[in-house]
Amino acid sequence: MKKLLLIVSLLMFALVSFGAGELVINSYMSDPAPRKVFAELVDQFREEHPDLEVTVNTFAHEDFKTLLRTWLNSPEAPDVATWFAGERMRYFASKGLLEPIGDIFEGGFEAYFPEAFRSASAYEDEIYFVPQSWYWWGVYYRKSVFEELNIQPPITWSQFVKVCEKLKENGYIPITIGTKYLWTAAGWFDSLNMRINGIDYHMDLTNGDIPYTDEGMQKVFEYWKELIENDYFIDNHTSYTWQDAANYLFTGEAGMYLMGQFIKDVAPEDVKEDLDFFRFPIIDGEIGLYEDTPIDGFMIPAKAKNKEAAKTFLKFIASKEAQQYFAEELGRLAANKNVPAPDAHAQKGLEMILESDGVMQFYDRDTNPEMAEKGMNGFVEFMVYPRRLETILKNLEMHRMRIYSE
Amino acid sequence: MTTKKWVPYAFLAVPLAMYSIWVIYPIISTFVLSFTSWDGVSPTIKFIGLKNFVELFNDPYFGVSVINNIKWLVGFAGVCVPLGLLIAMLLDQKFKGTKIYKTLIYLPMTLSFVVIGQIWCWILEPRHGAINTILNMLGLESVGWLSDPNVVTYSLIMAASWRQISYTMVIYLAGLKQVPNQLIEAAWVDGANAWKRFIHIIIPMLKPATVVAVTVSIIDSLRAFDIVYVLTRGGPFYSSSVMANYMYIQSFHNYRMGYGSAIAVIQFLITLGFILFYMRYVLKSEEER
C-alpha cells in the first residue's frame, strides 16, 4: 500500500513538473498603487493557469529603464517586460530584440485596440507591443484652492498667466514641478510646442527633421520664458523628483502641476477627490488641439525562454476583463476599446482626448533616447538659466546633427 | 620535507584565473570598445578609431566632469586628510569618552554610499531639510544645495566627506599608535613645544599612514559615482557630473557603449597619472632619507 502511494505521488509530482512552465515578468510598476493592482492581476492569471510558475520582479521605475537594455541582450531575459509604446519600443524592435506578437489577437489588433494605437505598437507593420493602459497629461490643480480664490480653470494662455499671478499674489506657488529626472520639463516643452507649432511640426522635430535652432522653436521658449521670469515655477525644482514636487500640490502650498493622470497614484486619499485638471491652455486659436497620451504596456524579448507562456500572459493582459480591472482600480484608461472609462475623472480625460485632433506619446518616447537625454537636459537648463537659450539650442542642434546622421 | 616547485603556482592558479576573468578581461575589453561605436544592444560592432576621443576632447560636459573630479580631489586630499589627522590627534589623548567619539565618527563607514546619499538628500532638501531649516531659524536664507549649479558639487563633496573623514581618521589613529612615545617625550624634555613636536616628529612618523590616506583619497575622488548618481544624477544639467557618472549615463542611458568606454579609458589614465606622480614623490623622498 505504502509503495503504491509513493509511486502515485511521484508520478503526480512528475506530471506537475512536466506540465509546469516558468514565466518571469519584469515590471517597472514600483509606485505602491499600480504595483498592488498588477500583483492582483497576476494572481488572477495564476488561478487560471495553475501549471505555470509565475514570478514577478519589480524594479524601481527609473532604474528599470537602464536595466532593460541588459536583459534584452542576455540569455536570462525575462519572458515578459513592461515598457512604453512608440520610439522607445521601436528602438529595440529595429535591433531584432523583440518578439512579434501579432498572432495573439483573435480577430486582429484592431479588435482589441483603437486603430490609432497601432503605429505606436508596431515596427514595420509587425506588432511587438500590447498596450495596457494609457493616460493623458493635463494641468492638475486643487479644486479647494481655486474655489477659495474664486478662480476659474483657464482656457487661453492669457487667462492662464492671470491665474498664475493671482496664485502668486495670494502666497501660493503657482506651478510646482520636479525636474531631477528631467522628463517633467519635457511635458512643458511638448505642450507648448504642440500648441504653438502643431502636431506635424512636433512629429518632425522628434523624428530629427527640424533643427533645434529653428524659428518655431524660439517661439516655444519665449512663452516658457514668460512663466520662468515671473517666478511662477517652484524654486529649486532641480532637486525634486516628480513625487517630491507633487507633495507641494497635496499639502496645498502649490496650485497647479502639469502632469499625467498617474499623479493620482501617489495622492493621499483625502486629497484625491480634491484634484481636478484642465486642458493645457490654448495659445494659437488656429492650431488644433493636440495632447500627449503615453501608452504603457508589455512586450516579449526575442531571447525569452518561455515564449508560449509569455504569449498566454499577454493574451490575458489584452483581454477586456484584465484591462478593465487595472483601469478601474487606478482610474486610468484601458487601451482595450471595449472597456468603458472607470470613473468620472477618467471619463473627463477620455472626452478631452476624443475631442482632440491628434496625440503624441511624449518627448522621451517619441524621439531617439540619446537625443531625449540631451534635449531634456537642455530644457531643464533653460528653466534655470533662461538667458542661456541661444547656447542651449545651438548645442542641441549639434547633437541632433550627429545623432541623426549616424 | 621539500615543497614541490609547482605548489605556489597551484595556489595562485584559482585567484589568478578569477582576476583574469573579472578584472583583466573587462579592462582589455573596455580599451577595445573605446575604439568602436557600439550601442550595447546590436550584435554588430563598428570600429571608428580615435573618433570617440576626438569627440571627448570637444565635449564641454566631459570637461565639466573632469573639473568636478579635480574639485573632489582637492576636497578629499586637501580637506578630509588633514581633518582626519586633526580628529585622530584629538581622540588619541586619554580623556573620558574617546571610545564613544571614535565609534560615532566611524559610523558613516558602515553605511553604503546609497544610504549616505539618501540621508543627505533629506538633510539638503530645500524647503524642509535640516540644514535650510536651521539656516532659516538663524535668519539666513535657504541655499539651493542640490539645485544651484554653483553649489551642487560642493554639497556632494560635503556629503561624501562625511564618510571619507571617518576613513582617514581611522588610518591616522592606527598610525599614531605606531609613533613611539619615547621620541615624543625626549623631544619634550629637550624643550620642543607642542607645535614643534607635531611638525618634526609626529608628521614624519605618520608618513606611511599619510601615503595610504592620500592614495585612497585620490582614487576615491577620481572614481566618485554613488553619491553623485543617487543625489543628482550629475544634474542639474551636468553641473555636478563626474567622469564615472558621465560614463554611466552615456553607456547605459544613451546606449553609447563605445563613447562610455572612451570616458572610462581617460578616467583610468588620469587616475594612473596622479598615482604615479604621487608614488614617485613619496619614493623619491624615501630615497633622500
Q: Write the pLDDT tens digit of every residue in B18-55.
A: 999 999 999 999 999 999 988 877 777 888 889 999 99
Average pLDDT, chain A: 91
Report pLDDT for A376. 95
Q: Which residues, in sequence order, are bridge partners of residue A297?
A: A83, A131
From A293, A258, A371, select the one nearest A86 (Cα to Cα).
Answer: A293
Chain A nearest-CA distance from B40, in A, is 8
B105-131 pLDDT per residue, tens: 889 989 998 899 999 999 998 888 999
Contact B147 A97 (CB under 8 A): no
CB–CB of A135/A128 below 8 Å? no
Long-range contacts: B269-273, Cβ < 8 Å, 24+?
B270/B66, B270/B69, B270/B222, B270/B243, B271/B218, B271/B219, B271/B222, B271/B223
Reply yes or no on whether the pLDDT at B180 is more than 70.
Answer: yes
A182 touches chain B (CB under 8 A): yes
CB–CB of B211/B282 below 8 Å? yes
A286-300 pLDDT per residue, tens: 999 999 999 999 999
Q: Which residues contact B274 (CB under 8 A, 6 or more apart)?
A: B73, B218, B222
d(CA B80, CA A35): 43
Indicate which of A67, A176, A236 best probes the interface with B, i.e. most B CBs within 10 Å of its own CB: A236
Chain A CB contacts of B148 under 8 Å are 236
A370 touches chain B (CB under 8 A): yes
Secondary structure class of B245 (helix, strand, coil): helix
CB–CB of B160/B72 below 8 Å? yes
Question: Angle at which helices A369-384 and A389-405 pack, to 10 degrees?
Answer: 180
A379 CB burial (10 A radius; 0-12, 13-18, 19+): buried
B65-75 pLDDT per residue, tens: 999 999 999 99
Reply yes or no on whether the pLDDT at A126 is more than 80.
Answer: yes
Taken in order of first residue, the domains within chain A and their CATH numbers are 2-133+295-348 (3.40.190.10), 137-292+368-405 (3.40.190.10)
CA A154, A327, A350, A380: dihedral to nearest 10 degrees?
A: 50
Q: Which residues, in sequence order, are bridge partners of residue A81?
A: A26, A299
Nearest to A237 among B147, B232, B255 (CB): B147
Contact A182 B235 (CB under 8 A): yes
A380 touches chain B (CB under 8 A): yes
A154-197 pLDDT per residue, tens: 999 999 999 999 999 999 999 999 999 899 999 999 999 999 99
Report pLDDT for B233. 87
Contact A238 B124 (CB under 8 A): no
User: Whole-model pTM above 0.90?
Assistant: no
Contact A369 B254 (CB under 8 A): yes
Percentage of residues in chain B with pLDDT exceeding 90? Answer: 51
The residue with greater pLDDT, B175 or B41, is: B175
DSSP letter at B20?
I
Contact B147 A73 (CB under 8 A): no
Contact A380 B237 (CB under 8 A): yes
Chain B CB contacts of A73 under 8 Å are 40-41
A179 touches chain B (CB under 8 A): yes
First CA to last CA distance, chain B: 42
Conformation bin of residue B238: beta by default, left when phi > 0, alpha when psi is -120 to 50: left
DSSP letter at A53?
E
Contact A380 B254 (CB under 8 A): no
Nearest CA in chain A to B60: A395
B185-201 pLDDT per residue, tens: 888 888 888 888 888 88
Report pLDDT for A19. 45
Nearest CA in chain A to B234: A180
Contact A381 B236 (CB under 8 A): yes
First CA to last CA distance, chain A: 74
d(CA A368, CA B20): 37
B235-277 pLDDT per residue, tens: 788 999 999 999 999 988 888 899 999 999 999 999 999 888 8
Chain B CB contacts of A386 under 8 Å are none
Report pLDDT for B1. 59
Contact A180 B125 (CB under 8 A): no
Nearest to A377 among B39, B127, B238 (CB): B238
Secondary structure class of B19 (helix, strand, coil): helix
Question: Angle at which helices A183-206 and A215-229 pack, to 10 degrees?
Answer: 160
CB–CB of A237/A213 below 8 Å? no
A369 touches chain B (CB under 8 A): yes
B90-100 pLDDT per residue, tens: 888 888 888 88
CB–CB of A70/A303 below 8 Å? no
A238-265 pLDDT per residue, tens: 989 999 999 999 999 999 999 999 999 8
CA A224, A229, A233, A235: dihedral to nearest 10 degrees?
A: 140
Taken in order of first residue, the domains within chain B and their CATH numbers are 1-25 (no CATH), 34-288 (1.10.3720.10)
A391 touches chain B (CB under 8 A): no
- CA distances, A233 to each of A158, A179, B85, B130, B235 (Å): 17, 11, 45, 23, 18
CB–CB of A265/A330 below 8 Å? yes
Nearest to B41 among A72, A235, A377 (CB): A72
Reply yes or no on whether the pLDDT at B171 is more than 80.
Answer: yes
- Name residue A187's amino acid: G
Secondary structure class of A79 (helix, strand, coil): coil
Output phi, psi for A139, to 5 deg.
-90, 110
Chain A nearest-CA distance from B236, in A, is 6
Cell 494605437 belongs to: A117
- The residues of B whose Cβ lies within 8 A of any Cβ of A are 37, 39-42, 60, 124-127, 144-149, 232-233, 235-238, 249, 252-256
CA A372, A184, A237, A226: dihedral to nearest 10 degrees?
A: 90
From B16, B74, B13, select the one nearest B224 (Cα to Cα).
Answer: B74
A180 touches chain B (CB under 8 A): yes
Chain B nearest-CA distance from A365, in A, is 13
CB–CB of B135/A245 below 8 Å? no
- CA distances, B210 to each of B18, B87, B171, B282 (Å): 32, 14, 8, 10
A72 touches chain B (CB under 8 A): yes
CB–CB of A356/A198 below 8 Å? no
Chain B CB contacts of A95 under 8 Å are 39, 41-42
| Per-residue 3-state assignment (H helix, E strand, C coil) for A113-164 | CCHHHHHHHEECCEECEEEEEECCEEEEEEHHHHHHCCCCCCCEHHHHHHHH
Nearest to B149 among A70, A373, A384 (CB): A384
Q: Which residues, in sequence order, are bridge partners of residue A156?
A: A282
Report pLDDT for B195. 85
Parallel, antiparallel or unpaired: strands A80-84 and A21-27: parallel
From A230, A291, A259, select the one nearest A141 (Cα to Cα).
Answer: A259
Identify which of A63-72, A77-86, B273-282 has the greatest average pLDDT: A77-86
